[in-house]
């Protein structure tokens, strides 16, 4: 089973280190084949909003850079983990530069879900998705926004399972490990 971990930390910061290590350790211990990406070290152009990935080269972004490789790894994985400092309740710009590029994984055509318009799937199968945010200190409002954002993303991509959670930077290693284990159970990650 393949897992892809996208690390959205800002260069020169260490707030994600504990959660990142714990995610890699837990997945490896479960026998997963893990590939991780430190996004701040990668040149990924921002999405141009041109919809070329829907109409010009369907399913492939028109920008030929590492953003394309990441999208390919995500759709071919069984689990994709998105790790980010919780930034105003949402994702960091580093994680978001990669996430904005993944709309080529869905179809341009529409479908109604719970009375709201969304897009149809492009692929038959999608990876399970796990969203992990880290905050410097407890902040209920940011945490609420983060979990809502993950749920909204999941409603648009509709992965077979998804989970989200926020870790506080001063948690002990043990607490972080337990939180990660809980999230992995929620996305039904087994050996």
Partner 1 sequence: MKSNGRVLLLVGSARRPRSTSESLGTYLLEGLRKRGFETETLIIPKIFGSDEARNALLAATDRSDILLLAFPLYVDSPPALVIKGMELINRHRHAGQELKSQRLLVIVNCGFPEAQHNNTAIAICRRFSQEAGLDWAGGLSLGGGAAISGRPLVKMGGMVRNVIRSLDLASDALAEGNPIPREAVDLMSKPLIPSWVYMLLGALGWKRQAKRFGTRKKLSDRPY
Residue in the structure block whose two tokens are 């580093």: 94
Q: Which does 132 bind (CB under 5 to 8 A by kind): ligand FMN, partner 1, none?
A: none
**Is the separation of the CB atoms in 71 and 102 below 8 Å?**
yes
Strand order in the sheet with 128-135: 33-38, 2-7, 79-85, 128-135, 162-168
Interacting residue ranges for partner 1, rule: CB under 8 A = 10, 46-51, 54-60, 71-72, 75-76, 87-93, 96-97, 99-100, 102-103, 107-110, 112, 116-118, 122-123, 141-142, 145, 148-149, 152-153, 156
Q: Is 56 helix (H, G, I), strand (E, B) or coil?
A: coil
Q: Is 87 helix (H, G, I), strand (E, B) or coil?
A: strand
By CB under 6 A, tell whether 47 contacts ligand FMN: yes
CB of 185 to partner 1, least distance (A): 25
Pairing type for strands 128-135 and 79-85 reads parallel
Pairing type for strands 106-113 and 116-121 reads antiparallel
As a whole number of angstroms, the distance between CA 155 and CA 167 comes to 23
Mask of contacts with ligand FMN, 82-101, x by CB under 6 A?
A: ------------------x-
CB of 118 to ligand FMN, least distance (A): 8
As a whole number of angstroms, the distance between CA 163 and CA 176 comes to 15
Rg (CA), the chain: 16
Q: Which does 80 bind (CB under 5 to 8 A by kind): partner 1, ligand FMN, none?
A: none
Binding residues for ligand FMN restricted to 123-182, rule: CB under 6 A: 156
Q: Which position among 49, 88, 114, 116 is part of the footprint of ligand FMN (CB under 6 A)?
A: 49
CB of 47 to partner 1, least distance (A): 7
């Amino acid at each position: 089973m393949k897992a892809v971990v996208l690390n959205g930390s800002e260069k020169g910061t260490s707030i994600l280190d504990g959660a990142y290590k714990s995610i890699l350790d837990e997945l490896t211990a479960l026998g997963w084949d893990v590939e991780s990406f430190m996004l701040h070290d990668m040149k990924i152009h921002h999405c141009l909003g041109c919809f070329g990935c829907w109409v010009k080269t369907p399913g492939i972004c028109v920008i030929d850079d590492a953003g394309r490789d990441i999208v390919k790894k995500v759709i071919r994985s069984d689990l994709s983990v998105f790790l980010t400092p919780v930034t105003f309740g949402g994702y960091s710009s580093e994680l978001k530069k990669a996430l904005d590029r993944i709309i080529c994984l869905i179809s341009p055509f529409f479908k109604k879900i719970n009375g709201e318009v969304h897009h149809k799937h492009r692929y038959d199968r999608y990876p399970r998705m796990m969203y992990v945010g880290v905050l410097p200190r407890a902040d209920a409002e940011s945490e609420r926004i983060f979990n809502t954002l993950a749920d909204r993303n999941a409603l648009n991509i509709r992965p077979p399972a998804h989970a989200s959670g926020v870790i506080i930077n001063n948690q002990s290693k043990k607490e972080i490990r337990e939180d990660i284990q809980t999230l992995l159970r929620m996305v039904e990650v087994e050996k």
